[in-house]
Structure 1
Amino acid sequence: MKPHGLILLGLTFLLCLAACSRDRCVVVLLPHPDGTTGKLIVSNQGGSQLLQEPNLATGIQSAERAPSSPELMGEEKIQEIFGKALLALPPPPIHFLLYFKTNTTELTDGSRKILSKVLPAIADHESTDVSVVGHTDRVGTRDYNFHLALERALLVQKILLHLGIDPQFIEVTSHGEDNPLIQTEDEVREPRNRRVEVVVR
């Protein structure tokens, strides 16, 4: 049976594909490019099925009949049904984390090396959408940390501009201390929270 229509659902940690014909709809859960797999509940009036392992698939024959028991769909079958749709998907975003020394806008030595990988990623993606988001740990006031995070993000933007990235492609924001990677109490130093996130789409 060949599908008449095709639906693609792409989320940050979830990728699933659905192919539907007049009498059946097939949904398959795919792993994210980073290797993780989300969870998906497929439901209708007749019941529901949980997909939580890569390449698990379920079928729906009618609104009143529950989705079929999940079964593993082989790569060949996935390509047969969804191959063209998969080729049409845009490349996934690439994330870079750049860390800073305490209470400064000075990159750590390791992050200087990582920064050298950003320009090739932008070129490979032919990207016109690069976000640069500054962060801090919770040492200091909220207002101070907002401005420190912004200064860090602006520093990274300046480096990218110096490397030849078009300024209209770069969006700079500051989250200050409000979006930590590692949750801590106030006034606790945490090196992993002193960062700038660069996302190349």
Structure 2
Amino acid sequence: MKKSILIACCLAAMAFNMACGKKSMVMLAPDPDGSVGRITVANEAGSVDIDQANLATVIRSPEAAPRAPEPLDPAKVEALFGQVVANQPLPPLHFRLHFESDSVRLLPDSRRQLTEIVEAIEARSPTRVSVVGHTDTMGDKVYNVQLSLRRAITVRQLLIDRGIDAAFIDVVSHGQENPLVKTPDNVANAQNRRVEVVIR
């Protein structure tokens, strides 16, 4: 595949390769949510586009263009790729916790989410947890970097207090640089006062 197309494919859908001697098969599988991306399978001899789930192409040699995509029936998909699909990592889980203005105090609804977050981490253990702090655009940028770091550290400590191993948790501070809702400087926005927790 062309590099730029391969990157887009990795973001939009999963593609599986099967080596068969000198030939290769590439099939486009749906994402866990059922959505389907688009891939281009190419070599020096030509290319084909695939944009439907369970369509597959075969490349017989570097000198032969990929064949026109054909559908694989569910039994064949299972026989060829069942083990690969079964071994795919679970998709990341995302949680968003909000804070009082100019504070490291979680809002009540966000505090209640901590139980769900801990349960999700424990269900995937061992895992990696990213805790990323953010602020709105009120105040000084340097101060906001420090505030968002304190928010992230607060969430990290709340997770540790609930039994999550500190070694699994990474903390990052974005300050006001990656707002959920874009605003001019010095605009208070409750949606931007947050910590994003990503469980992989």
Same fold (TM over 0.5): yes
Q: How does 1:38-77 map to 2 (within 5 A)?
A: 38-77=37-76
Report the counterpart of residue 102 of structure 1 in structure 2: 101
Report the counterpart of residue 26 of structure 2 in structure 1: 27
The answer to whether 1:183 aligns with 2:182 is: yes
| Residues 26 and 58 in structure 2, CA contact (< 8 A), matched pair in contact too | yes
Q: Over aligned residue pairs, what C-alpha RMSD do you find?
A: 2.3
> What SS does structure 2 have at the residue aligned with 1:192?
coil
Report the counterpart of residue 167 of structure 2 in structure 1: 168
Structure 1 unaligned regions, length at least 5: 1-9
| Residues 128 and 168 in structure 2, CA contact (< 8 A), matched pair in contact too | yes
Taking only the aligned residue pairs, the percentage that are identical comes to 41
* Alpha-carbon distance in structure 2 between the residues aligned to 1:77 and 1:57: 11
Structure 2 unaligned regions, length at least 5: 1-8
Report the counterpart of residue 83 of structure 2 in structure 1: 84
TM-score normalised to the size of structure 2?
0.83
> What SS does structure 2 have at the residue aligned with 1:84?
helix
Could you list the per-position Cα deviations for residues 150-198 of structure 1 after superposition, in whole angstroms to 9, with x for gaps in the alignment?
A: 1111111111011011111211111112223333333333333222111
> What SS does structure 1 have at the residue aligned with 2:25?
strand
- How much has 1:98 moved relative to structure 2? 1.4
**More helix as a share of residues:** 2
C-alpha spacing 1:53/1:193, structure 2 compared with 1 (3 Å):
farther
Specify the code of the residue in structure 2 equivalent to 1:20: A
* Alpha-carbon distance in structure 1 between the residues aligned to 2:36 and 2:113: 26
Report the counterpart of residue 5 of structure 2 in structure 1: none
Which deviates further from its counterpart, 179-188 or 129-138? 179-188
C-alpha spacing 1:155/1:80, structure 2 compared with 1 (3 Å):
same
TM-score normalised to the size of structure 1?
0.83
- How much has 1:34 moved relative to structure 2? 4.0
C-alpha spacing 1:21/1:147, structure 2 compared with 1 (3 Å):
same
Report the counterpart of residue 6 of structure 1 in structure 2: none
**More strand as a share of residues:** 1
Count of aligned residue pairs for this structure pair: 192
Report the counterpart of residue 198 of structure 1 in structure 2: 197
